[in-house]
Amino acid sequence: MAMITDRISTGAFGDREHTAPEQPLWARIDAALLALVMSLQMWCDRVQQRRALLGLNDQELRDFAVTRADATRESDKPFWRR
In this prediction, residue 30 carries a pLDDT of: 94
Query: Which DSSP category does 16 fall into?
Result: S
In this prediction, residue 59 carries a pLDDT of: 96
Domain that holds residue 81: 43-82
Residue 12, domain member (yes or no): no
Residue 31, domain member (yes or no): no
Residue 71, domain member (yes or no): yes
Domains in the chain, number: 1
Query: Which DSSP category does 77 fall into?
Result: S
In this prediction, residue 21 carries a pLDDT of: 75
- Residue 71: Cβ within 10 Å count: 19
- CA dist 67 and 75 (Å) reads 12
Helix 68-75 × helix 25-55 angle, to 10°:
150
pLDDT per residue as tens, the chain (82 positions): 556 556 556 665 555 555 667 889 999 999 999 999 999 999 999 999 999 999 999 999 999 899 999 999 999 999 989 9
